[in-house]
């Protein structure tokens, strides 16, 4: 015989309604604020946009999987961790991606005239981590506070039938 389920005391986060309005607003705010830092140089601006699109795509996939498996996040901290983890994955792949993405975006040669190589992109890894982690953290916080809200708390009468008297 299967025991009754344990009552859920902390409700999972819910998407703000209507989600088709609030989710794009949250993504625009999360991706838009770092882009504003590069308002005068288009190549880093494009790199930031592409990187944050990838980060939020990975984060939304992992959030969707957690909802699908019944492990919906119960705090905004969990959502921010999903975004930061996706950012770390993107930062690990950054040296490989930069070697072919920078020439495509128009910054293919530097002052020496050599093309952007894997060694050059690997040399930028510490800078990517130092700048990227705070950017991803703040973007995750902005997204979590804008797109999600607290679920409805359980009412006391919801658990009244589960209480067993002392014997």
Q: Give the model confidence (pLDDT) of 55-78 as tens digits.
A: 999 999 999 999 899 888 999 999
Q: How many domains does the chain have?
A: 1
Residue pointed to by tokens 């991803």: 136
In a domain, 105, yes or no: yes
- Tell me if 84 sits within 8 A of 140, measured CB to CB: yes
In a domain, 163, yes or no: no
84 closest CA partner among 149, 132, 126: 132
Q: Where are the alpha helices (DSSP H) in 19-117?
A: 19-36, 42-68, 76-105
Q: What pTM does this model have? A: 0.77
Per residue in 108-138, pLDDT tens? 555 555 666 777 777 878 888 898 899 999 9
In a domain, 158, yes or no: no
Q: Give the domain range for residue 73.
A: 14-150
Q: Per this entry, what is the length of the chain?
A: 167
β pairing state of 14-15 and 148-149:
antiparallel
Q: Residue 148: beta bridge partners? A: 15
In a domain, 31, yes or no: yes
In a domain, 1, yes or no: no
| d(C-alpha 36, C-alpha 96), whole Å | 25
pLDDT band at 143 (very low <50, low <70, confident <90, very high): very high
- Exposed (0-12), middle (13-18) or buried (19+): which is 72, by Cβ within 10 Å? middle
């Amino acid at each position: 015989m299967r025991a009754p389920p344990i009552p859920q005391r902390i409700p999972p986060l819910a998407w703000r309604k209507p989600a088709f309005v609030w989710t794009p607003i949250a993504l625009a705010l999360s991706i838009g604020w770092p882009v504003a830092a590069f308002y005068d140089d288009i190549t880093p601006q494009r790199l930031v946009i592409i990187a944050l699109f990838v980060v939020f795509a990975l984060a939304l996939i992992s959030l969707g999987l957690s909802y699908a498996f019944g492990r919906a996040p119960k705090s905004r901290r969990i959502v921010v961790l999903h975004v930061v983890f996706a950012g770390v994955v993107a930062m690990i792949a950054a040296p490989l991606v930069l070697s072919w993405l920078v020439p495509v975006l128009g910054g293919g040669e530097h002052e020496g005239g050599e093309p952007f190589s894997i060694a050059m992109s690997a040399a930028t890894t510490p800078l990517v981590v130092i700048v990227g982690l705070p950017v991803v953290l703040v973007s995750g916080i902005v997204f979590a506070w804008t797109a999600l809200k607290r679920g409805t708390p359980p009412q006391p009468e919801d658990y009244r039938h589960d209480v067993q008297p002392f014997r």
